[in-house]
Amino acid sequence: MANYLMGDIQGCDAPLGQLLGKIGFSPSRDVLYVLGDLVNRGPASAAVLRRLMKLGDAARCILGNHDLHLLAVAQGVRKARADDTLDDVLAAPDRKRLLAWLRQQRLALFEQNCLMIHAGVLPSWTTEKTLALAGEVEAALQGPECEHFLQKMYGSEPAQWSDALQGDARTRVIVNALTRMRFCSPQGVMEFSAKEGAATTPAGYLPWFEVPQRNTAQVMVAFGHWSTLGLIRRDKLLGLDTGCVWGGCLSAVQIDSKGDCGALFQATCPQAQKPGA
């Protein structure tokens, strides 16, 4: 049995198939963890969802901002953007099944001694708190108030976590940290305008994983979302968005039960677009 972490697929089904073939992935033996942004920008979002669904419990996926955006557009609470490539899902004969499966995916996982999220973790959050807060969003997404949640999740305020937050403001901060954050202040104030690499860090902010005394610093954390960083392999930190949809590659890393990362596998992607959110 082998376990693999994979970065943002973003609707690029051909590289996904190529990479699964390269690692010899077997759903009867192996487990694949995908770190969010399964869909959008690439040409084949529906095919990606079908391929992952077919893997059953062998594919365990984190929701990213593009995945939540698809659900909001499908629900009719958000208009599609001009650069979205979601029509193949929205017009699919199995649309209902694809979207129902997507709603059941997680916002955070802790397996193989690794905390898995799409974007980031606020410095004050422990692993246990991160999972609990992710669970609140998962319950909202999967429950009868899903439409309300999707309508209210947009926006960048409040920019800082407080245990006193309630209702829409509370879930919005959780969503923004787990699916959008790149930079935050040492006090945990999030900044969303800067989207390039660490060299463009705004004054007074840091990449979220470099904030001193981050409560998850001693835990292996794996994330995607930040394609302009490229591959990051550090002690207790793995960044796996290597810009597949932007003309880069799709990356996967083998991980053992202790949270130690091993071999890197990559598949090239012919898709070339301007990097975006």
- In the prediction, which pLDDT does 210 show? 97
Residue 234, H or E segment: strand 232-234
CB distance 250 to 7 below 8 Å = yes
Burial-class residue 135 by CB neighbours within 10 Å (0-12, 13-18, 19+).
middle
pLDDT per position as a tens digit, 99-115: 999 999 999 999 999 99
pLDDT tens sequence across 169-217: 999 999 999 999 999 999 999 999 988 888 889 999 999 999 999 999 9
Q: What is the pLDDT of residue 274?
A: 46
Instruction: Tell me which residue has tokens 């529906």.
Output: 46
pLDDT of 137 strictly over 90: yes
Domains of the chain, each with CATH number or no CATH: 3-152+218-268 (3.60.21.10)
The HSE-up count of residue 66 (CA atoms within 13 Å, CB side) is 25
Assess whether pLDDT exceeds 50 at residue 276: no
Q: What is the pLDDT of residue 271?
A: 62
Asked if 86 contacts 80 with a C-beta cutoff of 8 angstroms, the reply is yes
What is the C-alpha separation between 62 and 108, in angstroms, rounded? 6
- The structure's pTM equals 0.96
- Going by their DSSP bridges, the two strands 114-116 and 3-6 should be labelled as unpaired
Cβ within 8 Å of residue 210, ≥6 positions away: 198
pLDDT of 273 > 80? The answer is no
Taking only the tens place, the pLDDT of each residue in 230-263 is 999 999 999 999 999 988 999 999 999 999 999 9
